[in-house]
Structure 1
Amino acid sequence: MDTKPLIIDIATKLFQQKGYIGVGLNEILKECGISKGSLYYHFPNGKEELLIACLQSLNEAIMKDITEIFEEYSTTNEATYAMIEKLIANYETEGTLTGYTFSSIVSEMASLSDSVRNACAKLYSEIQTIYFQKLVADGFSNNEASSNALIMTLSIEGGMLLCLIQKAKEPLQVIAQVLPQILKTRRFKTSE
């Protein structure tokens, strides 16, 4: 593996496990087996630039995964259920959801740095766009699809965060059961 992708891969895992503030450059250097000069060669602006590269890498992986799932299933409910089931299976196998959520990084950095906040906003916007498009294909109006896509994002991200905090898969299981009913109820109410 080339040095830059190696640094991004290892730093992403460390940031997700310990948070941005909890990981020092020396720990990243040690885990990567590289010198400080090598890190600054690839990331001249240091740790924050590396964080943004990690967020972009996470974004690519998450978007690929979500897009594949949402293209495979014919309805939003089926796709959402399949995606949450995949998250649960991943949690059961690995005991964590690293690689699927960037909430732990966002919570401590988004208010400190506009460039990080903008990178995070872009990631969430792209996820919501996938949900929005599927909801529109299911017959929701643009307005309904937009608000429901936001609810889906909040529910799933919150569920992943609770899984990590509680060290349990139940929050995602509840969301998998309840979210389709919420969408159905919201559609019925907005159609009246």
Structure 2
Amino acid sequence: MLEQLSGLPAEVLDLTSYRNDFQENFWRVDASWKLERQITFKEPSSPSWVAMAEGHWEKSLRLADELRAARAEHQRQLDRHGITQRRVRFVCEPPTSYLQWELHLLMIWAELGEEIRILPADTIAHLETHSALPEVVVLGDRSGHPVMYDITYTDGVLAGARKFTDIHLVASCRDEIRDHWRQGEDLLRYFPKKIADLPPPAPQGV
């Protein structure tokens, strides 16, 4: 069902509306499921990403690590609300500059409690005969009314989302994401083997 989302009607949210809607729904649910498929994005609002993109790798890693305290507080809030965050991240080898950078960031998230699994992108080639799977977040697992966002980008930069609330559609997509997640390798095991010792990535360009 995930590969069919682009052809289904949805509520279109611009960036501000998406962020507001996400925050309104996020703290009401028991879990979030995220699927990340694309291997190159741009995050100009992140100083760490900008440093990587400009070729300053050590500075980028230092800035990423400075996010640890805020992320730890975020995890404490999740724990108080009983919210579990799970993510499946599709990867390629060798990784793109963006992917190498993001996996360093996600390693911090994983160390603090987010449950992140890694899968090679070629494992879903049979699902991508027309286009790549979308970037999707599902809010809600066993409680509350589930909400799903098909996240949209313009030239690699976050632009908003398409929102779905049909219970059966959202449940079907959530189950697919869960299946991918179960098949994946824990980032805490994957990272030391595949990412930790790589040389600095090539500048991505801002």
Q: Do Structure 1 and Structure 2 share a fold, with TM-score over 0.5?
A: no
Alignment TM-score, normalising by the size of structure 2: 0.24
Q: Which has the higher contact order (CA 8 A, sep 6+)?
A: 2
Alignment TM-score, normalising by the size of structure 1: 0.25
